[in-house]
Structure formats: C-alpha cells, structure tokens
Amino acid sequence: MSHSDTIPLHPSSQSDIDEIENLINADVHSVTVLPARPPSPPRVSIPISHSPSPLPPYQKVPPSASPPPVVPAVPAAAAAPAGSSRIGISSDAFGSPPDTLTEPVWDTVKRDLARIVSNLKLVVFPNPYREDPGRALRDWDLWGPFFFIVFLGLTLSWSASAKKSEVFAVAFAILAAGAIILTLNVLLLGGHIIFFQSLSLLGYCLFPLAIGALICMLEGNVIIKIVVVSITLAWSCWAAYPFMSAAVNPRRKALALYPVFLMYISVAFFIIAID
Amino acid sequence: MEEGYTSLPTSHLLGSVPAVIAEEKPSAGASQSLPANLQVFPPGNGGYIPPESPLGGEEQAANNWKGFCSLSSYTPYFNVDTDVVVDRIISSVYPMDEFSRKIDGSPDLYGPVWISATLVFMLAALGNYGTYLIRKRSEPNGDWEFDVSYVDWAACVVFGYAVAVPAAFYFLLQYFGLNANLVRLWCMWGYSLFVFIPASLFLVVPSEIFRWIIIILAGSASSWFVYLNLKVSTEGSDTRPLVVSALVLQFALALFIKIFFFS
C-alpha cells in the first residue's frame, strides 16, 4: 500500500499504517480498532442480513455483496481483495469499498434472485418465523413485487380476448396503486409499519395469485378455474394476514385487513372472469 | 457510537427537566390561548370545525394540521374502531335520524373511502356477471367477454360522485351562509352509498322487473337518508331546493347504476 503513495511518510505514520495493515490482515474478531464511521445500514433502521435463516442481526457482518451506498472518501490504504473481502467493521474506513460496481452482471442478478427467493420463502411459505412479522421481511426489496405484478398483468392480458392493453393497464394500476393505498390505510389507522416493507410484502403475497393466473391461462374449464383461484386466493390472504394484523391495534384489525382481502378478491375475480 | 450524542446541543440538559414553553400559534389569532370551548379556525380547505362543544381530543385534531402532504394531519379522520364503523354502516341502511348523532363527535373518512372502493368492485364484477347471465340465457353457446371498461366507468362515477357532490354542496351551503363541515358531508355521502352494495347483489338476477324494483327501493332508501341528514345539517328552511336537489341527485345515481351496469 505504501507503493501507491508518492508523499514520503513520516516514520511514525509508516509504523502506524503497518500496524493497521497487520490488524486488517489478521482475523476479524481480534480487531480492536474503532471504525472511523460506523457502517450504517442503508435502510430505515433495519440491519441487513443476507442469509435465508435470519440470524440475530449484529452477529454477522454483511458480506461485501450487500449494497453499501456509504462509500467512504478515504482512499484505499490497503488494497483489499475485491468481492470476497471479509474485512470487518472498519472496511469503510480502511479498505476499499466492496466492489458491487465492477462485479459481473451475473453476480448482481444472482444476488437479487437469491434475495427474491429467500423473501418469498419467508412470506408465502410456512416457516417458523411467521409469527414475528418484523423479521419476515427484514431484507425487503421491490424487485420481487415488481416481477409478480408485471407477470400477473401480462398473464391477464394474454388471457383476454379483447382490449388486451386495457386489461394490463387496469391490472397493473389496481395492484400498484392498491398496494400503496393499503399501506397508507394502515398508517392512517394508527398502525406501525414501514412503508416500503409493507409494499414489498403485499407484492410478495401476490405470488400465489400469479401462479393461479398462469394455470387459468392454460386451462379453459370454468369450474377448474374457480377452484384453482379460490385456493390461491386463500393462500394469498393467509400469507398477508399475520403481517397486517400485527401492524394495527387489535380493535382495528378488521379495518386494516378488509381492504387487503378486497384487493385480492377483486384480482381473483378478474382472473376468473378474463377468458 | 455514544460519542455522537454528546455533541448534541441539549446534552447539557441531561438529567434536568426542560422548561415547558407554551407555544402559541400566531396565525390563529387570539382565540387560540383558551383551549376549552372556542371554535378553532379551520386550518385549511379540509379542516375540521369542531361542533359547539368540542371535546378535548378535537382541539388536538384541529391543531395538528401539518399541511396537505403530511400523513399525520389526516389521522384524526381515521380514528375509528371496527365496531364504530359497523355501527355507522348499520345505521345508514335504516334512514332514521340516528346517523347524525353518531358522527357528531368524529366524522370518519375510512367508511366513505372503502365503501366507495367496494362499490366500484361490486359494480364492475356483478355488472359483468349480469351480462354473462343474460348472454347465456339468450344464446347458450354464444361467447361473452369481460368488459374492462366497466371498471373504469365504475371508478370514475362512484369516486367522482362521492368526492365532488359533497364538495359542491359544501360550497353552496357556505354561499348561503350556513355553517357546513366538509368532512361531515363527505362522511355522510360516503355512508349513503352503502345501500347500493347489497342492492347490486340482487341486481344480478336477470329479470328486468325485479331489477327495477330493487333499484327503486335502494335509490329511495339512499335518497331519503341523504335528505334527512342534510336537513339536520342545514336546519334552515330556505335551502329546501338544495336539499331536494341532493335527493334527486342520489336517485339519479341509482338510476344510472341500473341503466349502465345492469341492463
């Protein structure tokens, strides 16, 4: 690292830098250096954990793959190995920032896909953490909801025999605006949720309905369509229930849940009726 | 991480109780200083005017107006519980005089918003189902397609009516010198739409006579509800044409619902 400097260092600085470099190259848990700036999670007060099994948040340092908008201005004093560095607490101050800008596109896509899958597993499928809604979507993202909404719109539009673009527009508008309005509804009722986390959750709960729409597109019989859509509708409502009901005062639970069910029922009806 | 907090300007106050500074809102004038039973000037267009004997909580509501874009300024209008909403819905179906007393203390906007949304969904869905049934009766092998424009029309008509008509009446009542509360009008008109939800369930039956009977009944109930409550709000005799026009408008809405969605 001193080879990149053109300014000759004071001998005491050199020894300091050497000492720090030794600390960095040593194992993480023995670091006693305080961070120059504590790594702040980029989102609202929820620490990011990347593993599908949620660990207590402060045990595991986010690996270099987590998106840090906190790019320190301190130039690289030590050339940290890109991509796989496990430099601990002080990576922002001493090492080079984790290289998400120069990593291959496939890595980025793979990371986002892994996050979508893990969020999906947490929200839609039975898992032991469902009772704690705050943990369910710690690592929320909006890519998953976006994919599901667009997929649902496209499927409905494909199934429709007339006015295809209008069908897509209506479906997209209902789902997107509906998610925002439902979140605002909970906030207005005095509930405690985080806006984007709720948007994310409502989008992920569309996954069963998206599957139902796909099956209905391939299948023509009305009875089968009704059965399939009813099952997926129940699944979606079951997925959204713990989060929404925990967010508000118990006396207003029905007030917060009814609009969610209304939106999912209207989408389900749309799926059945489009042929 | 704790070092950051010692640099805050109030760190020297740690351990001491800060003095309570009485904040006077300068814009509201002299009446602001006595919180008990004076009318607070409404903070804006959608402002909440407390009735003659305001409770303590409503003073808070009027003073918490933070502008149109802040969510917390609308929270007082959603301060209802499930049983309160159900109670108001039930009393809207029977057009008796109790509804005004129920919303006297706190008109809510939750009811109007979600009753309108439900009505939009019902009209679009059941209107299409109605045409499906009629098509199947007349030509059993004919094809029917879902008409998406029903959704657009239902949304525009119902939300437009629920927003614009009370606002128009608010301005008209203000013009005639009567003190009207916009939120109360919105609340009342919103709940008056509830009758059409069960009515639209009955309107699916593909019999013309039955449909007309149902819509006339529903329209009459809803119009009578609007008429009674508006009469209570206005309490003046020379606004009779206004009140009658509200009744006629509500009935016109009922007829439009029948003619557009269920024929």
Q: How much is the pLDDT for B219?
A: 92
Question: Does some domain include residue B6?
Answer: no
Distance from CA of B4 to the nearest CA of A (A): 11
Of A218-222, B17-21, B75-79, B207-211, minimum mean pLDDT range: B17-21
| Of the candidate ranges B57-71, B127-141, B155-169, the one whose mean pLDDT is the lowest | B57-71
What's the domain range around B245?
93-261
Specify if B66 maps to a domain: no
Question: What one-letter code names the amino acid at A253?
Answer: K
Report chain B's mean pLDDT, rounded to a whole number. 76
Whether B161 maps to a domain, the answer reads: yes
pLDDT for the residue B146: 78
Q: Which two tokens stand for residue A262?
A: 């209304």
* Distance between B240 CA and the closest CA of chain A, angstroms: 37
* B133 or B143: which leads in pLDDT: B133
Q: Is residue B71 part of a domain?
A: no
Q: Name which of A188, A255, A274 is nearest B85 (Cβ-Cβ).
A: A255
Q: In this predicted model, which residue has the larger pLDDT, A158 or B240?
A: A158
How wide is the angle at C-alpha B135 spanned by C-alphas B133 and B141, nearest 5°? 110
For B137, the 3-state DSSP assignment is helix
User: In the prediction, which pLDDT does B32 show?
Assistant: 40
**Percent with pLDDT over 90 in chain A:** 24
B146 and A166: CB-CB below 8 Å? no
Give the pLDDT of residue A150: 95
Amino acid identity at B50:
P
Interatomic CA distance for residues B263 and B255, integer angstroms: 11
Residues in chain B with CB shorter than 8 Å from the CB of A167 are 148
Phi and psi at residue A156, to the nearest 5°: -65, -40
Task: Compare B22 and B116 and report the one with higher pLDDT.
Answer: B116
Chain B residue with CA closest to A251: the answer is B81
Quote ipTM for the complex.
Answer: 0.72
Q: How far apart are alpha carbons B223 and B196 in whole angstroms?
A: 11
Lookup result for tokens 């959608």: B46
Per-residue pLDDT of B136-168, as tens digits, reads 888 877 677 778 888 888 999 999 999 999 999
Q: Which residue has the higher pLDDT, B100 or B57?
A: B100
Find chain A residues with C-beta within 8 A of B145's C-beta.
160-162, 275
Where does the pLDDT of residue B41 fall: very low under 50, low under 70, confident under 90, or very high at 90 and above? very low
B176 touches chain A (CB under 8 A): no
pLDDT at site B204? 87
| Interchain pair B148, A163: CB under 8 A | yes
**Confidence band, pLDDT 50/70/90 cuts, at residue A49:** very low
Segment B39-43 mean pLDDT: 39
Query: Which residues 67-106 of B have a C-beta within 8 angstroms of A?
Result: 71, 74-75, 77-83, 85
In a domain, residue B68? The reply is no
Which of A80-89, B36-45, B125-134 is predicted most confidently? B125-134
Question: In angstroms, what separates the C-alpha of B114 from chain A's closest C-alpha?
Answer: 7
Spell out the alpha helix ranges (H) of A160-252: 164-188, 195-204, 207-218, 222-247
The answer to whether residue A102 scores a pLDDT higher than 80 is yes
Could you tell me which residue, B231 or A269, shows the higher pLDDT? A269
CA dist B222 and B206 (Å) reads 23
pLDDT at B144: 77
- Residue B235, min C-alpha distance to chain A (Å): 33
* Residue B237's pLDDT band (cuts 50, 70, 90): low
Per-residue pLDDT band at A27 (split at 50, 70, 90): low
Q: Tokens 């809510």 sit at which residue?
A: B108
What pLDDT score does B45 carry?
44
Taking residues A200-228, what's their average pLDDT? 90
**Residue A38 contacts B where some CB pair is shorter than 8 Å:** yes
**Is residue B232 domain-resident?**
yes
Contact B85, B111 (CB under 8 A): yes
Overall number of domains in chain B: 1
- Asked, for residue B256, whether it belongs to a domain, the answer is yes
Query: Does any domain span residue B243?
Result: yes
- Helix spans in chain B (H): 3-6, 56-63, 82-93, 98-102, 110-138, 149-175, 182-192, 196-202, 208-234, 240-261
Q: Which of A216-230, B67-81, B103-117 has the lowest mean pLDDT?
A: B67-81
Which pLDDT tens digit goes with each residue over A107-139?
889 988 998 888 888 888 887 766 666 666 777
Residue A160 with chain B: CB contacts under 8 Å: 145-146, 148
Q: Three-state DSSP class for B34? A: coil
Who among A161, A167, A266 is closest to B121 (CB)?
A266
Q: Write down the pLDDT at residue A64.
A: 43
Residue B91 predicted with pLDDT over 70? yes
d(Cα A88, Cα A29) in Å, to the nearest integer? 8
- Assess whether pLDDT exceeds 80 at residue A85: no
Nearest residue on chain B to A274, alpha-carbon basis: B146
